[in-house]
Structure 1
């Protein structure tokens, strides 16, 4: 098929509506344009094809033989297009929202809260894909990503959801080694990180520890990192919500806490129109984040 050999799609649509609804005025109302615009499109189509398609018949309008043939073909074609679009939309509505997010955000922030969303919106399925890999939202088929950083990624819409409420924690005994000293003194202590938690490295650099040669080890899970921290073997960076009870009961102390900045977790979407299901999920996330 050569598109260059076809008349204007707008003209074909105007003629199909005119033929089906038996007049320029009715076609104009359906397509939300003026009577004059419909008439202009139909006359342009007749000029392009070199035939008459419509003629006045009393107070109404009738189709020529060529007009009846073209109207039938266009009706069949537009119905097939409408059926195809409806099928795609139906399949899309049946699929879960595909959300990419960091393992840390999934484990520590979203999973303890998402039961409320499922209870409020059982009709909306959400597929969570925890990964530290950067994804191409359109190419990889994601509706949205929740990404850690400063929100300055090119080619996407990014909106801050929550600040990175991270704290450096250790046992009271660990705190004695750096009491009264600045944050750089923490670089002298042994550290433990969960493997793949790049946001913690970024945060550590943002608070001035980027130039420190940290004595650090990595462990597969944050639960293991927390065990090592509680045992007094290492210090670690934790989401404040995860260690609130440890801090309140004195098992751990806060060695450093940074004021909120542009660093945080962002809702990241591809540019363009978002589905109603995604808008509902976004509104819920923001309402929970606001508390």
Structure 2
């Protein structure tokens, strides 16, 4: 029996090209076949799956809801194959590693430190993937990840890097020095916390700090901590954020943490497949993360 129950590769290529280019004619030109052949392949694919993938009109084609699901998977799969073929055709002397982490960790913490990382490990080519999802780690795909949670993380070797802490932060221009000053400040909220749990929100912080009578419902609301940090830097209010994510803004004076009371977060960990754990370049990168996060 075959390992995968997949439609013919030719039909998938025809569908992916037609969906991406929104045209049978342009897909045919790209794949060096006729528009009729593209249309035939897509119809065969739809018949095999029992769903309509593309809506046709005289001027263009458009994805259906079912087609969008297949298109995302096909585009991702073809891109991964293309990268693998490129590696085989043009092998690199230097090690190449793909690392996944949350968008907030990458943009707010890692990217500003890339010059130091490149100076310490000049032979390493690091490719960064931003994702809030837990990505499967495997050699040749996404090799490594900065995981965030309680652990243990199944199927990987994980090295704890730093325990996270959350605290209210704001622009120094707001001149907040006492808890009572929060009554004249706008609160910034981050909705939809998945990790950590319970959420590091204003209700928990007020309970822990013994603050009563503060209106914790009003204010600005974001679904992403990066936007909350940016709003706080711009002086638009006070946000409870990770002190790891806000470390550079705090060190530069763009943000201040005026209150001593904090909330616990989860642990950042360097995760890799066991097969990669002992490789010298992986060990060197792990050591760099350990030292860089310990220096905060």
TM-score where L is the length of structure 2: 0.50
Q: Give the whole-Å Cα distance in 1 for the aligned partners of 2:189 and 2:263.
A: 23
> Out of 226, 231, 236, which is 1:227 matched to?
231
8 Å CA contact 2:103, 2:131 repeated in 1: yes
1:52-91 to structure 2, matched below 5 A, reads 91=91
1:138-217 to structure 2, matched below 5 A, reads 138=138, 141-170=141-170, 171-172=174-175, 176-177=179-180, 190-193=187-190, 198-199=194-195, 204=200, 208=204, 215=218, 217=221
Q: Give the whole-Å Cα distance in 2 for the aligned partners of 1:203 and 1:92.
A: 44
TM-score where L is the length of structure 1: 0.51
> Out of 278, 283, 287, which is 2:282 matched to?
278
Cα offset for 1:106?
1.3
Output one character per residue of 1:250-276: Cα deviation in whole Å (capped at 9) or x when no partner: x74434643767x22111122234322
Q: Give the whole-Å Cα distance in 1 for the aligned partners of 2:205 and 2:162.
A: 23
Distance 1:210 1:153, change over 3 A: farther
Q: Give the whole-Å Cα distance in 2 for the aligned partners of 1:150 and 1:140.
A: 27
Aligned to 2:48: none
Aligned to 2:107: 107
Output one character per residue of 1:191-247: Cα deviation in whole Å (capped at 9) or x when no partner: 333x88754676517x9469998556116672564335653445342434144258x
Decide which moves more: 221-230 or 104-113: 221-230
Q: Give the whole-Å Cα distance in 2 for the aligned partners of 1:109 and 1:243.
A: 10
Instruction: Tell me which protein shows more helix as a share of its residues.
Output: 1
Q: Give the whole-Å Cα distance in 1 for the aligned partners of 2:166 and 2:241.
A: 6
Cα offset for 1:98?
0.7
> Out of 263, 267, 288, which is 1:264 matched to?
267
Q: Give the whole-Å Cα distance in 2 for the aligned partners of 1:276 and 1:221.
A: 34
Q: Give the whole-Å Cα distance in 2 for the aligned partners of 1:114 and 1:106.
A: 10
Aligned to 1:126: 126
The secondary structure found in structure 1 opposite 2:200 is helix
Q: Give the whole-Å Cα distance in 1 for the aligned partners of 2:103 and 2:156.
A: 21
Decide which moves more: 150-159 or 164-173: 164-173
